[in-house]
């Protein structure tokens, strides 16, 4: 099946508008101002959804959609946020059984918010969308409400032990409250029939092959695993891939994906088929720990010239491993620039890349990966943002048979070559 890129953009905007309606309904019910933080259109697996929800207790609702739009909608609050919004509605109202009114209030608020989202879609599609009665979910681990849900069935409809390894289309909305520490998650997963009916390309001009995107994603997974292995070899810190997905997102929303804290970023441009940008993003503590372990010496409390050069060299090895694997897959050559270092607020680190792509496209496919240490507080975010036209062309030439035989490799010896520190300013 071929997906239409322009249609994906239209539905992305629909999802953002629907999330805005949901936020407005929350505000009107509770008096707590709320807004959409960021909307994602992900190509992901149910396992990555579970990882994102791990380590927090969640309550909310799950509903099934049918008729004009088939799939599953899941709206969740962390427990503390659920208590806050319920209290805003039912404070000073006596209850017969402690907790009963709280749960029903959360269910009602979540259902009204979810209906706002669904109503927005129904209006744009000019169709009726049936919504099932909500199922209240309350769990400390996502497997308790994800294991048998349609979230695991929204890929290509395949059956068997590898079915959950297929990519699903997922609309993911993060909402935030103004002046309150509230956490909301909304997930909308259309079923396979809906994806095919709504997103199928009507022409070749703006089409991207879904099956080849799946195959390319498997190579990206190997590249991410190679990055983790490279870091383990260079630092003796065991690293593993934590979350990995493909985002289809508007360029102006990419900076909101990253932390507002000061971050260390190392960016590369790459040229070939495809071209684009690659960014490694570290929090300050992770950067210091990785440098200390890679050079086997105590580093300064800050991040000076020595640390900067070491981080760039680590990133250079990781970039080679990832991009060489992509080049092997596509039977082509992908060259990357010298590393460009930045130490700034997260959004400021990403902005130059967005500006570089913004001249030719409004949306981007972003290969988004988080790598974390197994036994210590070290993590790394990786963003690969290919040029959209080049990615479509590359997938058009992609031989699916190469997936099984392609393995990324990279030399982990650090070079003594100087790096171009002025490159960042030229992005």
Alpha carbon distance 403, 77 (integer Å):
39
User: What's the chain's Rg over C-alpha atoms?
Assistant: 22
d(CA 238, CA 243): 16
Q: Which residues of 316-339 are buried (b: 16+ CB within 10 A; e: fewer)?
A: bbbbbbbbbbbbbbbeeebebbeb
CA distance 100 to 93: 12
Give the architecture (CATH level 2) of 2-199. Answer: 3-Layer(aba) Sandwich (3.40)
Q: Decide whether 2-199 matches 210-426 in CATH topology.
A: yes
- Cβ contact 369:240 at 8 Å: no
Are 369 and 382 spatial neighbours (Cβ–Cβ below 8 Å)? yes
Output the DSSP codes for 202-231.
SSSTTEEEHHHHHHHHHHHHHHHHHHHHHH
Q: Where are the domains of the chain?
A: 2-199, 210-426
Backbone angles phi, psi at 97, to 5 degrees: -125, 120
Q: Tell whether domain 210-426 is in CATH 3.40.1550.10.
A: yes
| Dist CA 139 CA 144 (whole Å) | 6
Q: Which residue has the tokens 């997906």?
A: 3
Exposure class string for 39-51: b at 16+ Cβ within 10 A, else e: bbbbbbbbebbbb
| Interior angle at CA 171, CA 169 and CA 176, nearest 5 | 160
Per-residue pLDDT of the chain (427 residues; tens, 9 = 90+): 788 888 888 888 888 888 888 888 888 888 888 887 778 788 776 556 676 777 778 899 999 999 989 988 889 888 888 888 888 887 655 554 455 577 888 899 999 999 988 888 888 888 899 999 999 888 777 766 665 444 544 444 444 333 344 567 788 877 777 777 777 888 888 888 888 888 888 777 778 887 788 777 777 777 788 888 888 888 888 988 877 778 888 888 888 778 778 899 999 999 988 889 999 999 989 988 888 888 766 655 667 888 889 899 999 988 988 888 778 777 888 899 999 999 988 888 888 888 878 777 888 888 888 889 888 888 899 988 888 888 888 887 777 766 655 554 444 444 444 434 343 444 4
């Amino acid at each position: 099946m071929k997906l239409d890129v322009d249609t994906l953009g239209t539905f992305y905007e629909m999802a953002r508008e629907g999330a805005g309606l949901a936020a407005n309904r929350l505000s009107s019910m509770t008096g707590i101002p709320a807004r959409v933080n960021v909307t994602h259109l992900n190509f992901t697996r149910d396992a990555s959804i579970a990882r994102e929800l791990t380590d927090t207790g969640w309550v909310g609702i799950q509903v099934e959609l049918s008729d004009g739009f088939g799939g599953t909608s899941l709206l969740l609050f962390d427990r503390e946020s659920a208590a806050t919004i319920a209290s805003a509605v039912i404070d000073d109202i006596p209850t017969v059984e402690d907790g009963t009114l709280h749960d029903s209030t959360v269910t009602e608020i979540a259902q009204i918010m979810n209906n706002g989202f669904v109503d927005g879609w129904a209006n744009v599609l000019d169709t009726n969308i049936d919504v099932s009665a909500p199922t209240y979910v309350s769990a400390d681990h996502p497997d308790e409400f994800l294991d048998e849900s349609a979230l695991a069935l929204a890929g290509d409809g395949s059956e068997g032990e590898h079915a959950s390894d297929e990519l699903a289309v997922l609309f993911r909305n993060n909402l935030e409250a103004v002046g309150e520490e509230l956490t909301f998650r909304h997930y909308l997963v259309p079923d396979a029939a809906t994806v095919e009916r709504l997103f199928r390309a009507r022409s070749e001009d703006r089409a991207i092959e879904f099956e080849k995107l799946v195959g390319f994603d498997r190579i990206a997974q190997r590249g991410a695993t190679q990055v983790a292995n490279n870091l383990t070899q260079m630092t003796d810190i065991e690293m593993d891939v934590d979350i990995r997905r493909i985002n289809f997102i508007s360029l102006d929303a990419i900076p909101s994906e990253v932390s507002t804290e000061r971050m260390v970023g190392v960016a590369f441009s790459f040229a070939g088929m495809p071209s684009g940008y690659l960014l490694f993003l570290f929090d300050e503590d992770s950067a210091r720990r990785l440098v200390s372990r890679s050079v086997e010496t105590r580093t300064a409390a800050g991040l000076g010239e020595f640390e900067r050069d070491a981080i760039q060299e680590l990133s250079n090895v990781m970039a080679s491993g990832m991009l060489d694997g992509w080049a092997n897959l596509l039977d082509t050559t992908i060259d990357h620039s010298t590393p460009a270092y930045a130490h700034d607020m997260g959004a400021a680190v990403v902005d130059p890349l967005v500006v570089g792509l913004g001249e030719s496209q409004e949306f981007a496919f972003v290969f988004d990966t988080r790598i974390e240490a197994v036994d210590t507080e070290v993590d790394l975010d990786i963003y690969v943002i290919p040029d959209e036209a080049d990615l479509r062309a590359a997938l058009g030439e992609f031989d699916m048979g190469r997936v099984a035989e392609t393995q990324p490799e990279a030399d982990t010896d650090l070079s003594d070559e100087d790096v171009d520190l002025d490159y960042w300013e030229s992005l």
